[in-house]
Structure 1
Amino acid sequence: MIAPTSPFAERHRALETVSAWVLALLWLLPLLYALWTAFHPAAYATRFVPDAPLTLQNFANAWHAAPFPRYFLNTFLLVTMILAAQLVLATLAAYAFARFTFRGSNVMFMLVLLQLMVMPDILIVENYQTMNLLGLRDTILSIGLPYFASAFGIFLLRQTFKTVPRELDEAATVEGASAWQILMQVYVPLARPIYIAFGLVSVSTHWNNFLWPLIVTNSVESRPLTVGLQVFSSTDQGVDWSIITAATLMTSAPLLLAFLLFQRQFVQSFMRAGIR
């Protein structure tokens, strides 16, 4: 027998549904405007005309107005380099915090958590001076080096590794597996959804990063997409919103596609990563 639903629960569910639709609409409206502006001539950018002609010329103009192939390559190399370094360092640190007991481990983990409260923009001056001293300024490595260690990744993986039963460690140890083999063959496969979610967060964050790459680079050979987009807002002929939105859609399309492909793993992984 199914218990009747209380009026309070029904009102709560209705409020959640309405709130979700409102938030979805607020997110969707700018995207619809960008799609309308990008696929129509500039004369229709600020007014809706049902029979306005469609065009792909805005995308062609945007592609030829800036060296987009180079910007895409720089951005791909940047996010790949950062993600690879973060996965390696976060995996090793999280495994140590989750499974080994050593003096000062709790204090060190608290210091890692404190880094989550430090805004990266606060360290721009110090990071710039460091990159200048190392002779790395105006390189792709200079953009990614300050982000190689991720406190968020360490926290997320540490919480996931702590949910793995210790019986698996003991069974693998009996079979003669080393700590490295246990990590790679037991923990890493079980945390695959977490790696996917963290990868999406890391890639989207550094794909959209603007201020630090703008400061530390000054040439096309090392600038990513976000910095390259400013060329469309600094022309003497004024701002062409049709070309700007077309360029923005080309820049954000890979991220939207990645999220649509992995959205289920993205949501489920954060639901599993509870604090234990």
Structure 2
Amino acid sequence: MTSVSTPKAGIITTLGAWLLAFIWISPLLFAFWAAFHPATGASSFDLFAPLTLENFSQVLAAAPFPRYFLNTFLLVSLILACQLVVCTLAAYAFVCFPFRGSGILFMLVLIQLMIMPEILLVENYRTLANLGLRDTILGMGLPYLASAFGIFLFRQTFKSIPKELEEAARLEGANAFQILMRVFVPLAKPTYIAFGLVTVSYHWNNFLWPLVVTNSVETRPTTVGLQVFATVEQGVDWARVTAATLLSVAPLLVAFILFQRQFVQSFMRAGIR
């Protein structure tokens, strides 16, 4: 028996999608509304008050957000650059240079996907303490310089590339590194875009690990800066907190608006299997 899609079913589906979209975006709408209106109390706002930028000016005066942004940018750039290099080389080795025990090693990589980062929090902190890297940007990024998800994703993408292209490149005299850079990497560009967007979003919003290993403004990222800013003796000033939150997520929002088409297409073409 085949089911026939009716206009009524399509309308219900559309209304349901719009409802879910509104529920999802409502916290962001509230943040925009609260950030541009003066607070009349610890948790109340004047709905009919004129729009103002006073909350943003107070936030910038109360906390060194330019420094927080710089720290976050350096941290995310360090992690992304190292992950792209390490994951690309590891995936290339798994696909093109099989060795004894490579299957077991790849299974160990997959097992890491099942381990929550919070489980390794104490041991990672002890390691950084022994290395003298506490309260440093390198220390924050060190546990994430490789990604099991990235290795898996790139390996699956490299496996889908026809072997004939690799063999043709070898006949032209290309060595292993040239084949990687001129054949595999260009053809896996959508996967790189998808992975880059995911890892940047995750580490830009990461909170627990930076909170544990940092204790100074010189290394504190925006997420930890927000937490310190929101903790006040008189209670949380939500107008200023929402303004600070918008400042923190603004780069991600702008990037998504500018590259939303590439964001969707990259996941559609990434071949996540």
Fold shared per TM-score above 0.5: yes
Q: Residues 60 and 135 of structure 1: is their aligned pair in 2 closer, same or farther, counting only changes over 3 Å?
A: same
- Name the structure 1 match of 2:148: 151
Q: Shift in Å at residue 206 of structure 1?
A: 0.7
Conserved 8 A contact 2:190-2:270: no
TM-score by length of 1: 0.92
CA deviations 1:96-155 (Å, max 9, x no partner) are: 122222211221111111111100000000000000000111111110000011011111
Distance 2:190 2:272 in 1: 16
Q: Shift in Å at residue 90 of structure 1?
A: 0.4
- Name the structure 2 match of 1:164: 161
Would you identify which runs of 4 or more consecutive aligned residues in structure 1 move more than 6 Å? none
Q: Which of 197, 211, 222 does residue 200 from structure 1 map onto? A: 197
Conserved 8 A contact 1:79-1:203: yes
Aligned 1:98-113 pairs, distance under 5 A = 98-113=95-110
Unmatched runs of 5 consecutive residues or more in structure 1: none
Q: Which stretch has the larger CA shift, 177-186 or 235-244? A: 235-244
Q: Shift in Å at residue 259 of structure 1?
A: 1.7
CA deviations 1:69-90 (Å, max 9, x no partner) are: 1111100000000000000000
CA deviations 1:225-251 (Å, max 9, x no partner) are: 100112222222322111100000000
Identity %: 68
Q: Shift in Å at residue 16 of structure 1?
A: 4.1
- Name the structure 1 match of 2:220: 223
Q: Which of 88, 93, 106 does residue 90 from structure 2 map onto? A: 93
- Name the structure 2 match of 1:118: 115
Conserved 8 A contact 1:225-1:251: yes
Distance 1:121 1:14 in 2: 43
1:39 aligns with 2:39: no
TM-score by length of 2: 0.93
Q: Residues 12 and 168 of structure 1: is their aligned pair in 2 closer, same or farther, counting only changes over 3 Å?
A: farther
- Name the structure 1 match of 2:245: 248
Unmatched runs of 5 consecutive residues or more in structure 2: none
Q: Shift in Å at residue 163 of structure 1?
A: 1.4
Conserved 8 A contact 1:229-1:247: yes
Conserved 8 A contact 2:190-2:269: no
- Name the structure 1 match of 2:15: 18
